[in-house]
Each structure stands twice: as structure tokens, then as C-alpha cells.
Copies of this chain bind each other. A is one copy, B any other.
Amino acid sequence: MAAPKTRDRVLESSLELFNVRGVSSVTTAEIARTVGINEGNLYYYFQKKEQLVTALFDAFEAEIRVTAAGDLADPTNPAEYIGYLRGWFATAWRYRFVQRDSAALFEMAPALRERAAAMIADAEAASRRVLGQVIEAGLLTVEPDMLEPLLANVWIVSSHWIDHLALRRHGRELGPADLDWGFRQVLALFLPYLSEELRGWMSSPAAPFASISEARV
């Protein structure tokens, strides 16, 4: 296969740097150095740092919208809903720079504010719909009053478990095992609402608890 184009390597390196150290702490000089190109060359592809950030947001949004559009072929199969959740979770991880320090992000690229708000509204609608299917299928028992708070907490924990764990880890880099921790935190939000049947399944070897670290993250 062809060697990755410079533009793509810039995006890849920037994503990693932004995720780890935050959008505002990473300089264009550092990005160029990491990619192994000159700073002038970087500006050939992205005339403003804002454009770089926006291009990464584009990718994030596209991935979120694919996930949102997804549907459960068989809502009675718990593995499918867990897979669906894992999709959200993996995307939130891959583009965690968006959530972390969103204030600085929007200050750098103000146009993203509206786009992010629209995106999250659509994403919430999608997850509301899918959760509805799962409840309909009898896997979960959630009183109507609890639906919205539950959805919001799922989003919050999926997006922000990283900061919490990084703090406890004294800033050590997070690895695959930590991803498992995060995903379990999300699943923990659902545990009290499991039907009896599902409760048994969750503790069976078939439950794909630990396999998040094997997914593309």
C-alpha cells in the first residue's frame, strides 16, 4: 500500500498530541516536529491552526454520525446493544480532545460551537431511540422519568472518565486496561436496570466485557 500522505500524517499526529496534552498546549512547531516535517510545510496544508482542529472535528463528527445512524438488527440480543455502546465509547476515546477542554477548543474555532451542539442533539436522539428499542425488547427496565438522566450520564461518563482516571493514575499514560475500566464505568450505569434474564447473561463468559481493548481505539 502507498505510504500515508503528509496531510494524513499531520492529522494523525495532531490528534494524538491534542488528545494527550490538550489543544491549547500543543504548538504547531511541536506538531511539525512530531510528523518529521518543517513548520512551513505544515502551513502548506493548514494555513491556520483552527483549520487543523476543524479537520479533526470533521472526522469526529462523521464517525459520530455513522454510529448514530446505526441500528440494532435484533434488539433482544444484549451483545448487540453492548456493541452499540462500545461504538460510542470508542469514538469518544479516539477524539477525546474534543470533550476535554472544549472551552479552549471553541475559543480557537468558534464555528465549532454550533456544529457541536447540533451534533450532540442528533446523537442524543439516536441513542434515545436505540435505548427505547432495548427497553421495548425487555432487556432493561427503566422508568420513563429516568430515561433522560440515564442517557445524559452515559454521555458524561463516556466522555470524561479519562480525566478522572488520569488524575488517579498521577498522570501516567493510559493504556488498554484503562479503557476496560472506563467501559465498565459506563456499563455500571445500566446494571441497576437490567432484567433478571440479562443479569444472568452479563456474568456469563459470553459477556464481552473485556474486549473493548481489542476494538479499534
Contacts and interface: CB of A to CB of B under 8 A. Distances in A.
Interface of A: 20-22, 24-25, 99-104, 106-107, 113-114, 116-117, 120-121, 146, 149-150, 152-153, 155-157, 159-161, 163-164, 166-171, 184-185, 188-189, 191-193
Given A150-B188, A152-B164, 4 more contacts: A20-B103, A101-B103, A117-B170, A152-B185
Contact of A104 (B24, B167, B191, B192): B24
Q: Count copies of this chain in the complex.
A: 2
A121 B164 CA distance: 11
Interface centre among A106, A164, A170 (most CB of B within 10 A): A164
Contacts of A25: 24, 103-104, 107
26 contacts: A21-B103, A22-B24, A24-B24, A24-B25, A24-B104, A100-B103, A101-B101, A102-B163, A102-B166, A102-B167, A104-B104, A106-B171, A113-B171, A117-B171, A120-B167, A120-B168, A146-B192, A149-B184, A149-B188, A152-B164, A153-B153, A153-B188, A157-B157, A159-B160, A159-B163, A159-B164
